[in-house]
Amino acid sequence: MKKVKGNIIDPLNRNIYPGEILIQNGRIKKIERMKSVPDHYILPGFVDSHIHIESSMLVPSRFAKLAVKHGTVATVSDPHEIANVCGLEGVEYMISDGNRVPLKFYFGAPSCVPATQFETAGDILSVKDIELLLDRDNIHYLAEMMNWPGVLDRDPEVMAKIKAALDRGKPVDGHAPGLKGEKAARYASAGISTDHECFTRKEAVDKLNEGMLIAIREGSAAKNFDALIDLLADYPGRIMFCSDDKHPDGLLRSHINELVSRTLKRGHKLFDTLHAACVLPVQHYNLSVGLLGEGDPADFIVVDHPSAMNVQQTWIDGKMVFGSGKVLFDVDPPEPINKFSSRLMNPDDFRFISGKTIQSVIVANDGELITGREELELPSVNGELIADPENDVLKIAVVNRYRREPPAVGFIKYFGIKNGAIASSVAHDSHNIIAVGSSDEAIAQAINLIMQNNGGISAVHGAKKDVLPLPVAGIMSTDAGETVALDYERLTHMSREMGSELNAPFMLISFMALLVIPSLKMSDKGLFDGEKFEFVEQ
């Protein structure tokens, strides 16, 4: 029998007391009150209530080794990124690799593969596929329903997927950016119980008033913490925390622990904060994660003090998995799976010929998935429209990675690149290759680096070229998290050398193809209006 002593922080009964946890067969047999204990604190581990593990660019087993350092014991994980590339085989890959490590990955059935009919994905998950997934004990919910127009219109296929989850007693996650008022009410009335896409308080309140739970998101690109955190005081018990998308350099530094620390520094109550970070995800998704109750799985963390939340130990199922600054488990990397049609591109492939010099231009917003739209007059040379780096207007291109098709080309503002290009095969949700650059030559070179590696992120700055290969579905690496984070930071530094001042340029570029987030995005089939859900004439 194992024994762990400390000041017990009990979020269910909302008290703190000195105690000793007795652990037997991976569970808490008993908690005894003590008179004297070591000067540290024991509390339930943190749960990320919505994340795509793939966005860390790490396979689950590598992700786990970074996350446990920050006190994360479980994630509610939507595998739709790899499902959009590899279908059911991709979902199986994530589950299998996650099962090899102690961290508890709770995967959902991806509801939107492909995310829309306006892009090319690597596979399709039908209603029957969703039903078969939801029949399984290791699929815990229907993952984010991004097709909000389909929900509002009560599209039969969309509603059949929602019904499949509800009939099996499994929650349905939402994804409804910008919906308020009657639209938010209609979306919630379909049986959707959560949303992580709110970017204003008004939007979140409308959804809360319709019975939805709100996951406050603070990822590498979308950062909604400051706009939403004060909801915790007004709606205690209805708020969760999530990262949604966390790139490797960010995960190396922090995870949900950072949101807990920032929330407490804002003056919010400890037990309201822990309810959001630990309790509500476990209760809502019916997770087998302990909350420091007798008979619970022995999942908990040891921190120096609640005011700092510095994690000293992480325990999962009665085993210490992180302590004394070391991760206490390891596994060999899994073999990659992928789906990629490689071909080299020429600069001429990205020429933009048009009789219209005034074009709709995507306006990127640092730290936001939402984009703007401007109508700008672009420079023209012999009928060819070109980038205007001096005014921060660059070319954006998306290349179909699954079959040979002409690339889609447009223009984007506020990436800041003066000379060069960046590219990525991490491009939500279909993960075609996306690039932004100051010239056709640089864009072609950046895309070819990815083609030659069957996936990755790349940067080209003059004669300098660099790439981080992502051999698993073109979106993940099997290397150690620390190695991937360093490579990622090196490429980010290259983008800064080109003039970009974006907080996370590779994360931001990955969302420029996410059609379900307004306003203007780029599909492999063309420029797309995410509010009207139709292509834009170029």
pLDDT surpassing 90 at residue 116: no
45-287, which class in CATH?
Answer: alpha beta
Is residue 422 within 8 A of residue 510, CB to CB? The reply is no
* Mean pLDDT calculated for residue range 507-536: 93
pLDDT digits (tens, 9 = 90+) for 164-204: 999 999 999 999 999 999 999 999 999 999 999 998 999 99
What is the model's pLDDT at position 223?
83
* Mean pLDDT calculated for residue range 445-469: 97
Is residue 94 within 8 A of residue 77, CB to CB? The reply is yes
What is the model's pLDDT at position 87?
97
Q: What are phi and psi of 165, to 5 degrees?
A: -70, -50
pTM above 0.75, yes or no: yes
pLDDT digits (tens, 9 = 90+) for 439-452: 999 999 999 999 99
Cα 538 from Cα 536, distance rounded (Å): 6
Residues of the chain with CATH 3.20.20.140: 45-287
One-letter amino acid for residue 180 of the chain: K
Cα 427 from Cα 507, distance rounded (Å): 9
* Residue 102 banded pLDDT, cuts 50, 70, 90: very high
pLDDT surpassing 90 at residue 342: no
Cα 201 from Cα 199, distance rounded (Å): 7
pLDDT surpassing 90 at residue 151: yes
Q: Among 61-70, 218-227, 237-246, 495-504, whose mean pLDDT is lowest? A: 218-227
pLDDT surpassing 80 at residue 115: yes
* Mean pLDDT calculated for residue range 287-309: 96
What is the model's pLDDT at position 221?
67
Q: For residue 424, give the nearest of 307, 363, 511 by alpha carbon.
A: 511
List the helix and strand counts (H, then E) for the chain: 17, 30
Q: Among 387-401, 446-460, 501-515, whose mean pLDDT is lowest? A: 501-515
pLDDT digits (tens, 9 = 90+) for 270-287: 999 999 999 999 999 999
One-letter amino acid for residue 92 of the chain: E
What is the model's pLDDT at position 517?
86
* Mean pLDDT calculated for residue range 234-262: 95
| Mean pLDDT computed over every residue of the chain | 96
CA distance from start to end of the chain: 69
- Cβ-based neighbours of 25, under 8 Å, separated by 6 or more: 318
Q: For residue 276, give the nearest of 521, 431, 46, 117 by alpha carbon.
A: 46
pLDDT surpassing 70 at residue 135: yes
What is the model's pLDDT at position 538?
87
What is the model's pLDDT at position 129?
98
What is the model's pLDDT at position 367?
78
Cα 315 from Cα 432, distance rounded (Å): 39
